Amino acid sequence: MQHSSTQDTLVGLFVASGIVGLFFLAMQISNLSSFVEADGYTVKARFQNAGGLKIKSPVSVAGVKIGQVSAIQLDDDHRALVKIKINNQYNKLPSDTSASIFTAGLLGEQYINLDPGGMDEYLKENSEIDITQSAIILEQALGQFLFKKSAEKK
Amino acid sequence: MLQLFQNLGHATLASFSKLGRASFFLLHALSGLPKLLLRPRLLINQLYSVGVLSFLIITISGLFVGMVISFQGFHILSDFGAEETLGVMVAASLVRELGPVMTALLFAGRAGSALTAEIGLMKATEQLSGMEMMAVDPIQRIIAPRYLAGIIAMPILAILFSCIGVLGGHLVGVSLLGVDDGAFWAQMQSKLDFRDDILNGVIKSIVFGCTVTWIALFEGYDTIPTSEGVSRATTRTVVNSAFTILGLDFILTTLMFGDN
């Protein structure tokens, strides 16, 4: 048995390394760090079809992530009402910005791309994006393509 | 024929009576935990021998397991052009399954067998009976601190295993095989959830800690007090722990990750 104060130190180091390890797992490996940047404003957008969009899907402008989807609901006209939370530092988006749902890669996850317009007014808390483009559903696109092909043959 | 049924009945009754003894043993040890808080020195001694001394084998195993997953995963994922998801694969398999399970298996071999041999030898040399003669409860004095130390040490060791494993996977994946550093971490962070993945892994390792330490201590306490008895009890600890860990892991996995 070693001297007890050395033992105390080693046990202390052991427990501390466990706590540091959990902190590392939380911050570096899981998505806990993305909860910290919660400051932002929420805007709404209505889509005919939200496709595979999920809560926490990224929202980007020109490929830069500026926020994330915070809620997806069905509104009274049976359209998808998507609430988007945008970080406060990006508060200079024109009010005629358009939103479209894109897919990252052929099979990747879906995200919202914002295309800034040219108005002088800016989007703020609770404003709505009017110009939207729905998700492209692969089956629908294929169906339309085949339909067009068969129509051309006749 | 009658002999066969007799043997079967005997074996069944014996295993039930062992389970009963183990349950009373566990309750008795748990009842000693409040008193233990008054004497933290006993706990620190045990945390040292159970936790700190297992540190090296756990971290080195974690490093190599992470490196191997990264290496194998890269070759399979590169067939689909999805090398960037290597980080997700390494981290998810370590945090959810391999971290808790491998740690528990190594812990059973490294610390569990030592606990059984120590308690068994104490019984064989009649130290436990000696304590009873001095009106010291051996279960509260000897067993309870070891039990608590096992429960505390296991999740810490499993967390360290996962951390070192991810770093090992990063070493092979990014430095050796050339996966993009940013994509490795970013994909990992977007796919792994703190509560669903990491906390569930920690809960698993706490359950394993309770089970493995319980098996090790009970086998030692219940041993036949001869040198052969101690050696058999030590073997049983490792074998029974391994079966219990793997079976429990399946049950816990279906409960935790079954619905997605």
- Give the other-Cβ count within 10 Å of B154's Cβ: 29
Cα–Cα dist A37/B102, whole Å? 35
Q: Is B41 on the interface with A (CB under 8 A)?
A: yes
**Which chain B residue lies closest to A26 (C-alpha atoms)?**
B194
Average pLDDT over residues A5-19: 88
Instruction: Please judge whether A30 and B189 are an interchain contact, meaning their C-beta atoms are less than 8 angstroms apart.
Output: yes
Torsions phi, psi for B254 (to 5 deg): -65, -35
Cα–Cα dist B102/B91, whole Å? 14
Is 70 exceeded by the pLDDT of residue B89?
yes
Rg (CA), chain A: 24
Å from A21 to nearest chain B CA? 6
- Least Cα distance to B218 among B9, B48, B30, B10 occurs for B30
- Least Cα distance to B110 among B150, B73, B64 occurs for B150
- Give the other-Cβ count within 10 Å of B119's Cβ: 26
**Average per-residue pLDDT for chain B:** 90
pTM score, two decimals?
Answer: 0.77
Which residues of A are less than 8 Å from B197 in CB distance? 30
Å from A52 to nearest chain B CA? 16
Q: For residues B65 and B80, which has the higher predicted lDDT (pLDDT)?
A: B65
Q: Is A28 on the interface with B (CB under 8 A)?
A: yes
Note the pLDDT of residue A38. Answer: 61
The ipTM estimated for the assembled molecules is: 0.80
- Give the other-Cβ count within 10 Å of A152's Cβ: 7
Cα–Cα dist A17/B105, whole Å? 21
Most A CBs within 10 Å: which of B43, B44, B203, as the mutation test of the A interface? B44
Note the pLDDT of residue B106. Answer: 95
Instruction: Write the CA distances from A49 to A81, A107, A114, B47, B158, integer angstroms.
Output: 10, 18, 16, 57, 44
**pLDDT tens digits along A49-77:** 887 787 777 888 887 888 888 888 888 88
Is 70 exceeded by the pLDDT of residue A35?
no
**pLDDT tens digits along B153-209:** 999 999 999 999 999 999 999 999 888 888 888 888 878 888 888 899 999 999 999
Q: Is B54 on the interface with A (CB under 8 A)?
A: no
Contact criterion met (CB below 8 Å) for B202 and B96: no
